[in-house]
């Protein structure tokens, strides 16, 4: 399997980023259901909740989404800074960044396992900030790997492409498997995260951390050597 992944890095990266998409679904379920309706990966939903909350609609939270948004941006900025000037494809910096993401998730999970999280408490907001930071860093790292249609944190543009390029739209063919896969996996991740909340708030974080560790290990082991750019399928869709 490892030899096949080395021989086809574009396909390998696609599979790894889809796994992180599933992981993001888990984390968003943890945030929304366990941390008072806050998305820590899907910033589109988070901004919408923040806007409605500022308008006083339905007692929606304001501070939590604001913290998640700020932390996500910080994480993305840190990821971008670390990867500045990096060559294309997987590098040791990508491994280190994904390792940092996994580390934050593990620390967050262990913390909430030993300390009860009360919505609106300092610990709840700290958990929100930690998850937002991790997801922002993950998104920036995935963006640099540049797998088309798979950002790992949002599928709105993927759904748009899936429908627009279908036979009901403009037609002409499309990578529908990867697009549909991203949509299904983030939904499946959310369902998994919701189910794991029946066990404990930290259970989803631990599973997400485990997935991230497996992804970074496979990506690091099968990364191509230095050389000319490996052709991917295009830049990341926004």
Walk me through the domains of the chain, giving residue ranges and CATH numbers. 2-221 (1.20.1250)
The sign of the CA dihedral 34, 36, 40, 46 is positive
pLDDT of residue 165: 86
pLDDT of residue 33: 95
pLDDT of residue 170: 81
pLDDT of residue 232: 45
pLDDT of residue 97: 97
Q: Which of 21, 22, 69 is nearest to 45 (CA)?
A: 69
pLDDT of residue 184: 96
C-alpha distances in Å from residue 211, one per residue of 24, 82, 142: 10, 22, 14
Contact of 28 with 41, CB cutoff 8 Å: yes
Show pLDDT as tens, one digit a residue, over the chain (238 residues).
777 777 777 789 999 999 999 999 999 999 999 998 999 999 999 999 999 999 988 889 999 999 999 999 999 999 999 999 988 789 999 999 999 999 999 999 999 999 999 988 999 999 999 999 999 999 999 999 988 888 898 888 888 888 988 877 887 778 888 889 999 999 999 999 999 999 999 999 999 999 999 999 999 998 876 444 444 444 443 3
| pTM confidence score | 0.89
Contact of 21 with 154, CB cutoff 8 Å: no
């Amino acid at each position: 399997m490892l030899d096949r992944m080395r021989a086809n890095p574009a396909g390998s990266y696609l599979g790894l980023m889809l796994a992180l998409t599933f992981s993001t679904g888990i984390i968003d379920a943890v945030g929304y259901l366990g941390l008072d309706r806050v998305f820590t990966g899907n910033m589109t939903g988070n901004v919408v909740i923040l806007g409605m909350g500022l308008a006083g609609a339905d007692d929606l939270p304001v501070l939590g989404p604001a913290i998640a948004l700020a932390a996500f941006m910080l994480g993305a900025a840190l990821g971008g800074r670390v990867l500045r000037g990096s060559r294309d494809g997987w590098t040791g910096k990508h491994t280190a960044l994904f390792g940092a993401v996994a580390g934050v998730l593990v620390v967050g999970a262990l913390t909430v396992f030993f300390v009860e999280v009360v919505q609106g408490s300092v610990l709840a907001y700290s958990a929100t900030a930690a998850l937002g930071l991790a997801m922002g860093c993950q998104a920036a790292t995935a963006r640099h790997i540049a797998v088309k249609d798979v950002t790992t944190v949002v599928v709105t543009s993927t759904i748009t492409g899936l429908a627009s390029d279908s036979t009901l739209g403009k037609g002409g063919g499309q990578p529908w498997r990867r697009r549909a896969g991203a949509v299904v996996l983030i939904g499946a991740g959310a369902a998994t995260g919701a189910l794991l909340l029946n066990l404990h708030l930290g259970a989803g974080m631990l599973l997400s951390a485990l997935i991230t560790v497996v992804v970074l290990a496979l990506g690091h082991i099968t990364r191509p050597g230095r050389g000319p750019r490996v052709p991917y399928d295009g830049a990341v869709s926004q």
